[in-house]
A and B are shown apart, each in its own frame.
Chain A
Amino acid sequence: MQFGIFTVGDVTPDPTSARTPTEHERIKAMVAIALKAEEVGLDVFATGEHHNPPFVPSSPTTMLGYIAARTERLILSTSTTLITTNDPVKIAEDYAMLQHLADGRVDLMMGRGNTGPVYPWFGKDIRDGIPLAVENYALLRRLWQEDVVDWEGKFRTPLQGFTSTPRPLDGVAPFVWHGSIRSPEIAEQAAFYGDGFFANNIFWPKDHFRRLIDLYRRRFAHHGHGTPEQAVVGLGGQAFIRRNSQDAVREFRPYFDNAPVYGHGPSLEEFTEQTPLTVGSPQEVIEKTLEFRESFGHYQRQLFLMDHAGLPLKTVLEQLDLLGEEVVPVLRKEFAVGRPAEVPAGPTHAARAARGAGEQR
């Protein structure tokens, strides 16, 4: 089981001071947060990708390459990589390069992106979202698996005799997750390839995500990759932690009330009751997170959103101390209890390279 954090990369005013960080400050803060994640013993840092304000991470591999150089163990990932509007050829090249630089500590999560204008800005049409995700990803896989690719599709100029360089490290492509908030087609895509499926599991009631994950698990088995329990599932989660529950609620409330996405809507109490958000003590976060296993089955990766809604860097770093020191060690122990041997561990390059050497597909 892997634990980590994922960030949207939003530049949001701090509602308690009305101060908005500069893009430079936010970018540096994201790096500081990633380094802290490694320091406190987390396994994964994932960054979003956006091409519009108020978000800064337009160039994930640049940021992840920099973080790779300053970390030793952290897996660098995305949440998500836009498989619709990016050229799959460039994704193949960029992430293979990152994989080499990071000595394999790289995987990525495919997403479609739901910001309408980004599609036309990159020459695409949002109504083609699913077909773009299907075709582009099919090409991306071939670019990583086959040394020389001849290819023709609907959305991109054809390729004749193309070799994507560098070739994936040890001949093993980065592990891929497919992220989706509501599309069964994407759960089916992940299941078809035997890839991972990630449900962001924040902002909405978990019943919604349970349907998608159940579908993914059933179809994973249908496509012959193993039992439903062997499917590779990642989940998001969101928490604000203080030693004392009341302190957490008092401190987080103004950020909650003004947050992008759900602010100015339901109360913090209603939202924590209805969605996976936890605002409280380490013990409360542990209890809520353990419930995820009851809802979704044994899973492979848990990512927390810790740095949005304008929380200042200092607060986020304190959050990560609590997460890494008081929450995750308990979760590691608890999640190991009763975990059947056939349930796979979280994917790593080392394990996949060793397996690949065995199989030699």
Chain B
Amino acid sequence: MNPVRLAVVSSGLSVPSSTRLLADRLAEAAGRRLAQAGRGVEVETVELRELAVDIAGNLVTGFPAPTLRRAVEAVTRADALIAVTPVFSASYSGLFKSFFDVLDRDALVGKPVLAAATGGTARHSLALEYALRPLFAHLRAAVTPTAVFAAPEDWGSAGDSRTAALAGRIGRAAAELAALAAAPRPEPAADEEVVPFDRQLEALRTGPR
């Protein structure tokens, strides 16, 4: 069985970044779950910081420069996607959104997606639910029920009686993603090269001839 192609998109800006740290933890956990299910995994990580100028260029010109094109192709052909953004001004970062703006609009259709975010305070955690989840729903991706938010204190605390610790939430989300990614997905119907012209004409026919 082919290995699962897992794309990881991280839009953290600092180096090192806690956004990338979270992305790596999620990828590692998802890979472990898939391995337990007997599936290999190929991880391709896309650091949007390195593509920031190309992404802006694509917005202006309408086409991706070669480096960005390779990243777009990696995400488009992936079997599953982990997408992680810092929360800026109560939502995903502009760089994160711009990357998804330059994808083909069908690039994520049916694709299992795990959305995650980091932020300066746990009070931003619902940005995952009101910003990222609708974005991926609009792109018709299959978003995991669990989205993962990491606030600063999460990196140094155990859970409490009501909340699992970060590692527990990562494990749950990764298991959900692995289950979606391992499930056989219907092959996309082979695209007809073009709608034959007589059918285009037929669609415009009015009244009896």
Listed in ascending order, the chain A residues whose CB lies under 8 Å from chain B are: 130-131, 134-135, 138, 152-154, 184-185, 187-189, 191-192, 203-205, 208, 215, 219, 223, 261-266, 270-271, 274
Contact B200 A153 (CB under 8 A): no
Q: Can you list 7 A-B pairs, Cβ within 8 angstroms, ordered by A?
A: A135-B204, A153-B206, A203-B61, A266-B57, A266-B60, A266-B61, A271-B61
**B52 to chain A: closest CB distance in Å?**
13
Contacts of A264 in B (CB 8 A): 60
With A203-B62, A204-B63, A262-B60: A185-B203 Cβ-Cβ less than 8 Å = no
B193 touches which one: A131, A134, A215 (CB < 8 A)?
A215
A188 touches which one: B62, B63, B197 (CB < 8 A)?
B197
Q: How many residues of B contact A (CB 8 A)?
A: 21
Q: Check if B195 is an interface residue, CB within 8 A of chain A.
A: yes
- Other than the known A154-B206, A184-B194, A188-B197, what 13 A-B pairs have Cβ atoms closer than 8 Å? A134-B201, A134-B204, A135-B204, A138-B201, A152-B206, A185-B200, A192-B197, A204-B62, A215-B194, A264-B60, A265-B59, A274-B65, A274-B66
A274 to B63, CA, bound (A): 10
B65 touches which one: A184, A187, A219, A270 (CB < 8 A)?
A270
A219 to B65, CA, bound (A): 30
Contacts of A215 in B (CB 8 A): 193-194
**A114 to chain B: closest CB distance in Å?**
11
Q: Check if B56 is an interface residue, CB within 8 A of chain A.
A: yes
Q: Check if B156 is an interface residue, CB within 8 A of chain A.
A: no
With A131-B203, A135-B204, A274-B66: A265-B60 Cβ-Cβ less than 8 Å = yes
Contacts of B203 in A (CB 8 A): 131
Contacts of A191 in B (CB 8 A): 197
Contact B200 A188 (CB under 8 A): yes
Q: Check if B207 is an interface residue, CB within 8 A of chain A.
A: yes
Closest 8 CB pairs of A and B: A265-B60, A192-B197, A184-B194, A188-B194, A266-B57, A265-B57, A135-B204, A262-B61
Contact A208 B63 (CB under 8 A): yes
A209 to B128, CA, bound (A): 39
**B101 to chain A: closest CB distance in Å?**
15
A22 to B204, CA, bound (A): 43
Q: Check if B16 is an interface residue, CB within 8 A of chain A.
A: no
A344 to B147, CA, bound (A): 60
A27 to B205, CA, bound (A): 41
Q: Check if B184 is an interface residue, CB within 8 A of chain A.
A: no
Contacts of B198 in A (CB 8 A): 192
Within B171-209, which residues are at the interface with A (CB < 8 Å)? 193-198, 200-201, 203-204, 206-207
Contacts of B57 in A (CB 8 A): 265-266, 270
Contact A131 B204 (CB under 8 A): yes
Contacts of A270 in B (CB 8 A): 57, 65
Contact flags (1/0) for B47-73 with A, using CB distance below 8 Å? 000000000110111110110000000
Contact A154 B62 (CB under 8 A): no
Contacts of A187 in B (CB 8 A): 194
**A192 to chain B: closest CB distance in Å?**
4
A135 to B204, CA, bound (A): 7
**A183 to chain B: closest CB distance in Å?**
9
